A = this chain, B = another copy of it.
Amino acid sequence: MARREAKTKPTARTLDARKATILEAVVTEHIDTAQPVGSSSVAHSADVAVSPATVRSEMVALEREGYLAQPHTSAGRVPTDKGYRYFVDHLTSGVLSTAQQHQVKDFFASVRGEVEDVLEQTSTLLSQLTSYTAVVVGAGHSHATILSVQLVSLDARHQLLVAVFSDGSVAKHSVLTSFDAGSLEVSEASRQLNALLIGTTLEQRVQVPSRHDNVATLVRESVSVLHAERPVTDGEHVFIGGSSKVAEVFDGVETVRKVLSILEQELLVVSLVQDMLDQGLSVAIGSEHGYEPLLSCAVIVAPVTVDGAPAGAVGLLGPTRMKYREALAAAGVVSQHLARHFGGEEERG
Contact = CB atoms under 8 A, between A and B. Distances in A.
Contact of A148 (B150, B244, B253): B150
Given A158-B348, A172-B170, A244-B264, A164 B152 contact: yes
Nearest to A346: B155
A208 interface: no
A157 B114 contact: no
A128 to B, nearest CB: 11
A158 to B, nearest CB: 7
B264 A349 contact: no
A102 interface: no
Interface stretch (A2-10, A53-61, A255-263, A328-336): A255-263
Interface in A317-349: 345-346, 348-349
Interface in A270-324: none
Contacts of A147: 152-154
A348 B157 contact: yes
Contact of A247 (B156, B168, B174, B256): B256
A242 interface: yes
A63 B82 CA distance: 58
A160 interface: yes
Contact of A157 (B162, B244, B264, B349): B349
Counting chain B CB atoms within 10 Å of each CB, which of A113, A154, A346 scores highest? A154
Given A157-B348, A160-B164, A248-B253, A170 B170 contact: yes
Contacts of A346: 155
> What's the number of copies of this chain in the assembled complex?
2
Contacts of A160: 164, 168, 170
Contacts of A174: 113-114, 168
A243 interface: yes
A35 interface: no
Interface string A169-212: 01011100000000000000000000000000000000000000
A253 B264 contact: no
A251 B252 CA distance: 11
A166 interface: yes
A162 B163 CA distance: 9
Contacts of A153: 147
A160 to B, nearest CB: 6
A246 interface: yes
